């Protein structure tokens, strides 16, 4: 009887494994709920995507389109005037509001416009002849950094475009990337040969503090640096120096004091993609396995830089991280065996869900440009000629 049970287990287990990995097994699968029509032409500029309430919107060079997240029905379309192209977008929306830039082909990205993602209305726009430097939205503000010789910072009301304040930067400095939140505005400053970080009061632009990114050795002014979060202040840095150049994510306290440092390479592997949520940094990291490159998902404490948890996903090809409602979602792409969804508890790293997609998610470009979770589903965003720009998947 025991032998028969073993045989039956093996025989029944083979189709179970096949069905589980193919996306045709209930409670273990993701099926396609809807897809947007294929794109024909593409460009590398103007690409962006946002989820606001029950509207998912995506931008490309020729306009912005909003879709009903449940049905895929197109709700609205925004096209820049005078045959201008979308040339810039802010990475995040502030509630339903987002900022885009547009300009004439081969000209400066001279006009900024605030859009309401619920209906696609342009709330206001402002134009300059030379174009803008960096821009960020958050806490009801648009914060602009002018990278010119007389560079400074300027804040506008996100809903009306009305001026709120202007702020000079220290002499000899020009602003780089900026970030804004309800409690704090931060700006990277290139000062002589060094990069610094400044914190400002969002109410009036008053400088609260300015600190070097690395007080001991300094970070070169030509380093690639970007603001990942304004509150808490988190900055990604990649120096061009050979050998000893810094490549890390740095966190700062509300008074500008350095907190955690998370190097791009450590015992967890090589960091490939990150997402800041609350007081944690979540990262996809690759490392060398016995025969190929394997991947991990790692959570770090921003205050200390310590690892809180990590989980190995083996010979995976992870892409995109979404942290929503205490859950970390990531995608694993495999053209041979099929794509899969992994969901983890953000606090503990315990795996809560593992499902196979019935259809390939990556599309022709071999990557997903962005990914959102909504209720019990997942939305993949793509750009490129011949791609379906949006695909929504649901649990089955």
Does residue 385 sit in helix, strand or coil? coil
Cα–Cα distance for residue pair 126/114, rounded to 1 Å: 9
**DSSP classification of residue 130:** S
Two tokens at 171? 């002499």
Where residue 315 falls among pLDDT bands split at 50, 70, 90? Answer: confident
Mean pLDDT value across residues 137-165: 89
In tens, the pLDDT along 234-283 reads 999 999 875 678 999 999 999 999 999 999 999 999 999 999 999 999 99
Cα–Cα distance for residue pair 122/89, rounded to 1 Å: 14
Contacts of 319 (CB under 8 A, 6+ apart): 273, 284, 330, 331, 333, 362, 367, 368, 371
Write out 333-371 in H/E/C secondary structure: CCCCCCCEEEEEECCCCCEEEEEEECCCCCCCCCCCCEE
pTM: 0.91
Q: What is the pLDDT of residue 12?
A: 45
What DSSP element (H or E) covers 235?
strand 233-238
Q: What is the pLDDT of residue 150?
A: 59
Cα–Cα distance for residue pair 164/142, rounded to 1 Å: 9
Q: Which of 50-54, 252-256, 361-365, 383-387 has the lowest mean pLDDT?
A: 361-365
Mean pLDDT value across residues 107-127: 95
CB 110 within 8 A of CB 156: no
Two tokens at 154? 């300027």
Where residue 3 falls among pLDDT bands split at 50, 70, 90? Answer: low
Mean pLDDT value across residues 286-303: 88
Mean pLDDT value across residues 338-360: 95
- DSSP codes, 282-350: EEEEEEE-SSSEEEEEEEEETTT--EEEEEE--S--EEEEEEETTEEEEEE--TTT--EEEEEETTT--
Q: What is the pLDDT of residue 82?
A: 82
Q: What is the pLDDT of residue 7?
A: 39
> Could you tell me which residue, 134 or 5, shows the higher pLDDT?
134
In tens, the pLDDT along 85-108 reads 999 999 999 999 999 999 988 888
Q: What is the pLDDT of residue 5?
A: 42
Mean pLDDT value across residues 382-396: 92
Percent of the chain with pLDDT over 90: 75
What DSSP element (H or E) covers 185?
strand 185-191
Does residue 47 sit in helix, strand or coil? coil
Percent of the chain with pLDDT over 70: 91
pLDDT at residue 216 greater than cutoff 80: yes
Cα–Cα distance for residue pair 92/59, rounded to 1 Å: 12
Q: Which of 82, 34, 76 is nearest to 59 (CA)?
A: 76
Q: What is the pLDDT of residue 80?
A: 94
pLDDT at residue 148 greater than cutoff 70: no
**Average pLDDT over all residues of the chain:** 90
């Amino acid at each position: 009887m025991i032998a028969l049970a073993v045989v039956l287990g093996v025989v029944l287990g083979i189709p179970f494994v096949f069905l589980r990995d193919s996306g045709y097994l209930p409670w273990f699968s993701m099926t396609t709920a809807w897809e947007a029509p294929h794109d024909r032409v593409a460009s590398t500029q103007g690409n962006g995507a946002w989820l606001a309430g029950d509207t998912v919107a995506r931008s490309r060079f020729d306009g912005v389109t909003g879709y009903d997240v449940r049905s895929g029905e197109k709700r609205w379309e925004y096209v820049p005037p005078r045959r201008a192209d979308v040339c810039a977008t802010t990475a995040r929306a502030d509630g339903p509001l987002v900022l885009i830039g547009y300009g004439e082909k081969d000209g400066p990205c001279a006009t900024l416009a605030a859009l309401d993602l619920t209906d696609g209305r342009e709330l206001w726009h402002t134009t300059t002849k030379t174009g803008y430097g960096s821009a960020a939205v958050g806490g009801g503000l648009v914060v602009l950094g002018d990278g010119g010789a007389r560079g400074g910072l300027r804040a506008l009301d996100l809903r009306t475009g009305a001026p709120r304040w202007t702020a000079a930067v220290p002499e000899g400095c020009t602003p780089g990337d900026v970030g804004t939140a309800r409690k704090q505005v931060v700006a990277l400053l290139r000062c002589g040969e060094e990069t610094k970080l400044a914190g400002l009061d969002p109410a009036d632009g008053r400088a609260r503090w300015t600190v070097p990114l690395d007080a001991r050795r300094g970070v070169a002014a030509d380093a690639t640096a970007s603001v990942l979060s304004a509150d808490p202040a988190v900055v990604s840095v990649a120096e061009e120096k050979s050998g000893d150049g810094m490549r890390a994510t740095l966190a700062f306290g509300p008074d500008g004091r350095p907190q955690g440092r998370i190097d791009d390479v450590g015992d967890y592997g090589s960091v490939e993609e990150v997402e800041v949520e609350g007081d944690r940094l979540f990262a996809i990291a690759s490392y060398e396995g016995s025969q190929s490159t394997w991947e991990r998902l790692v959570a770090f404490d921003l205050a200390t830089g310590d690892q809180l948890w990590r989980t190995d996903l083996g010979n995976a090809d992870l892409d995109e991280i979404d942290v929503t409602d205490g859950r970390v979602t990531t995608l694993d792409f495999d053209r041979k065996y099929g794509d899969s969804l992994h969901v983890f508890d953000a606090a503990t790293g315990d795996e809560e869900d593992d499902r196979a997609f019935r259809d390939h998610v990556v599309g022709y470009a071999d990557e997903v440009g962005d990914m959102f979770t909504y209720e019990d589903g997942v939305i993949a965003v793509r750009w490129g000629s011949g791609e379906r720009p949006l695909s929504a998947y649901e649990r089955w």
